[in-house]
Amino acid sequence: MLAAVDRLSMQSLSRRFFTPKRHFNPQEISFFLNVDFVKHVALVAAIEEDGEQVIVGGGRYIITQPRMAELAFAVVDKYQGQGIGAALLRHLAILARSAGLELLFAEVLAENTGMLKVFDRSGLRATKTREADVVHVSLQLS
């Protein structure tokens, strides 16, 4: 997903990182790249552009407590609204269930209606609470 960061608008970066973050320090890069597929699971969506595979989106979950994990997503602006976030969520939910997780949660800026719709349409039982400009979303896997 780091390769796709340069292709995200400032608005998309703000929606993902809650700040328009364009550069990452070595510890952040290590965090995003060192995925163990146990406590930190990440998937990317890639397409072919001009004969090359390019990353257009990514999603991940990180286990924060027993049977619970936090979700995060980013999709390149040009490809938003085409089902990439929904597909990533479906696959992450499958992996999370098979790992014995019961709950996925995310913090979403209230303005990010596209991501909120992805959660609403996921087929998972969703609970949302709002605190200022942030919506806390919980998705039941069981």
- The answer for residues whose C-beta is within 8 angstroms of residue 112's C-beta and 6 or more apart is 15
pLDDT at residue 66, rounded to an integer:
97
pLDDT score of 96:
98
> Residue 38 has what DSSP assignment?
S
Is domain 2-140 annotated with CATH 2.30.31.70? no
Q: What is the pLDDT of residue 32?
A: 82
Question: Tokens 């479906």 appear where?
Answer: 90
Q: How high is the pLDDT of residue 2?
A: 42
| Helix, strand, coil in percent for the chain, rounding step 5 | 30, 35, 30
Give the integer Cα–Cα distance in Å for 39 and 63.
5
pLDDT at 18: 72
Cα–Cα distance for residue pair 69/67, rounded to 1 Å:
7
Which parts of the chain have pLDDT scores under 50?
A: 1-2
Question: Concatenated DSSP letters for 64-106?
Answer: EETTEEEEEEEE-GGGTTSSHHHHHHHHHHHHHHHTT--EEEE
